[in-house]
Amino acid sequence: MRATKRLFKGTVAVLMCIVTSILASGCWDQREFSDIAVVMGIAVDSSEEKKQELTVGVQVANPVPYSGSSGDSGSKEAYSDFSGSGNSIFEIIRGITHISSRRLYHAHNQIVVFGSSIAENEGIRRIIDYFLRDNEMRYNVLLAVSEDKATEIFSAGTNYEKVPAQELAELIENQAANSCSAVCTLIDFAKYGTSVGATALVPIVKIKEAAETGKDSGEGSSSEKSGSSESSGDKQSPQKSYEVTGAAVFDGDKMVGKLSEEETRGALWVRDSVTRAIVRAQTEKLQAEIEVFNCRTHVDAKINEEGKAVAKIRCEVYSNIAQVSDSGVKLDTDTVKKIAEACGGVVKEEIEKAYEKSVEIGCDIFNLGEKIKDKDLKQWRKYEDDWKQLYKELDLQLDVNINIEDIGNLSSNVQWRETDEKNGNEKEEKQ
């Protein structure tokens, strides 16, 4: 009898475990790969015809068998584009189910591109809200602003990746190597956009025509293009490629201005977002470029007794010498020091330029307000409403310290033989 009771208890326990495990599983949405279309990028534009209406382009990666597997699917495109228009982004994205046989799957979305028209005129509040609420959307999806119509941005071909949206996303991420453009994820945007003392900087992207690429490739003058210029000689590469030019400044959810590449970096120095950069400076003897590999910025911002905002910014920059114009010059301590000073001046100048531009736009692109808030919440509450005015009259005290850790593999100075008139071919530098 007791044993029967125990058996009953045991069975109930087992059954309960099974039932709860089934009921408690929130992810009862089993789906195979063949049911989903993996969204790689979304572009949002305001509609041309009607106000308040949106046009949304969605780029979906097609499951194309990679090389090695047989089949006739070689001709299949690696991606397909869907687009729709309507009053809300949710409506449009759901509407795509009518034209796509597979349900859109957003968890692997790489990038969301906004047309500059919608960003400037209407603001992107309601779109961001949908992305933040949707449980499939990742918070670390990249945001970008397109100079032209966003829905056309994914039409450029690819150089490396199979899907243009992916290539664009990677291009933006790799800009960190030069720190000439901001990287802004969805959660960053939400964080900065909702704060008075901070500003979201979103990279501006555009399609670059082939002719332009070809012209640039020879010079290599603009460092951020090196990636694309290398491949421009390749016949397989498409006629178009992407380019990131500066950053869009968002006041809240509205785009209010643009920063050039130089100004963007100026802002990033202060925002402590520079990871790698190249700084070029001219001393009296030579022109030098340093390669920054680490930068730590300490910002001490406060509002003093007179009610004036003061920001003491100290940049500790760690770098190597990447290149000097004349290998014959001995890089002794003095010379290195001079190079460091000159580069410090350049960095300072960039920051100042960025500040001037930000005053013009009227946005705290240095996120100084956040710093004050972190330090003294009471004070910040008092001055919060006047912050924009205070920022314009900011007392900016810059202290840029460039540490040159290494002068490169070429440790001794090298004297080049003077160019002969007969034999005029230049020798390449060893480095």
Partner 1 sequence: MARKHEPLRWLLSLLKKRSDERFRGKGKQDEPAKEIVKSLDSNVTTLQALFHGSEDLKIRFFEFPYAAAEKGSSPQRRAALIFVDGLADGKILSREIVEPLMYGSGKDFNASDMKAIKTTMLAVGEARSAKDFDDAVFACLLGDCIMFVDGFADCIIIGAKGYDKRAIKPSDTEMSVRGPKESFIETLRTNTALVRRRIKNPELCFENLVVGRQTKTPVSVVYMHNIADEKLVKEVRRRLKSIDIDSIMSSGYVEQLIEDEPTSVFSTVGFTERPDVLCAKLMEGRVGVIVDGTPYALTVPYFFIENFQTSEDYSNNFISVSLIRFFRYAAFFISTLAPAIYVALVTFHHEMIPTSLLLTMSAAREGIPFSAFFEAFFMIIVFEILKEAGVRLPQPIGQTISIVGALVMGEAAVSAGFVSAPLVIVIAFTAVSGFVVSSLSSPVLILRFVFLFLAGFLGGYGIAVGIIVLIVRLADIESFGYRYLSPIIPFNMRDQKDTLVRAPLWMMRTRPHLLARKNRVRENNPIPPDDN
Q: Does 72 bind partner 1 (CB under 8 A)?
A: no
List all residues 6 or more positions away from 366 whose beta carbon is below 8 Å from its beta carbon.
267, 270, 271, 299, 311, 313, 354, 355, 358
Phi, psi of 130 (to 5 degrees): -60, -45
The residue within the footprint of partner 1, chosen from 1, 49, 51, 69 (CB under 8 A), is 69
- DSSP designation for 214: H
Q: Which listed residue (30, 75, 101, 425) binds partner 1 by CB under 8 A? A: 30
Q: What count of other Cβ atoms lies within 10 Å of the Cβ of residue 291?
A: 17
Does residue 67 touch partner 1 according to CB under 8 A? no
Which of 15, 16, 73, 408 touches partner 1 (CB under 8 A)?
73
SS3 category, 246: strand
Of residues 153-192, which lie at the interface with partner 1 (CB under 8 A)? Answer: 162, 166
> Token pair of 406, please?
């290494």
**Range in contact with partner 1 (rule: CB under 8 A) among 2-10, 88-96, 171-179, 228-236:** 2-10
**Contact flag: residue 38 with partner 1 (CB under 8 A):** yes
Residue 34 binds to partner 1 (criterion: CB under 8 A) = yes
Question: Closer to partner 1 at the Cβ: 109 or 181?
Answer: 109
Identify residues 202-241 at the interface with partner 1 (CB under 8 A): none
Residue 341, amino acid: E
CA distance 57 to 92: 9
The verdict on 7 binding partner 1 (CB under 8 A) reads yes
Pattern 109-148, partner 1, x by CB under 8 A: -x-------------------------x-x----------
The distance of closest approach from Cβ of residue 42 to partner 1 in the complex, given in angstroms and rounded to an integer, is: 15
Nearest to 360 by CA among 254, 259, 218: 259
By the rule CB under 8 A, 101 interacts with partner 1: no
By CB under 8 A, residue 23 contacts partner 1: no
Helix axes 186-193, 125-133, angle to 10 degrees: 130
Supply the minimum distance, in Å, between the C-beta of residue 76 and partner 1. Answer: 10
Q: Please report whether residue 36 would count as binding partner 1 according to CB under 8 A.
A: yes
From the list 118, 181, 182, 108, the residue with the least C-alpha distance to 150 is 118
How many positions of this chain bind partner 1 (CB under 8 A)? 38
Beta carbon of residue 67, minimum distance to partner 1 (angstroms, whole number): 11
Q: 311 by DSSP, 3-state: which?
A: strand
Min. distance of Cβ 224 from partner 1 in angstroms?
24
Conformational region of residue 220, where left means phi above 0, alpha means psi within -120 to 50, and beta covers everything else = left
Rounded to whole angstroms, the Cα distance separating 416 from 402 reads 29
Least distance to partner 1 from the beta carbon of 174, Å? 16
Q: How far is CA 18 from the centre of its chain?
A: 47
Q: Are 45 and 118 in contact (CB under 8 A)?
A: yes
Binding site for partner 1 (CB under 8 A): 3, 6-7, 9-11, 14, 17, 21-22, 24-25, 27, 29-34, 36, 38, 40, 61, 63-66, 69-70, 73, 105, 107-108, 110, 136, 138, 162, 166
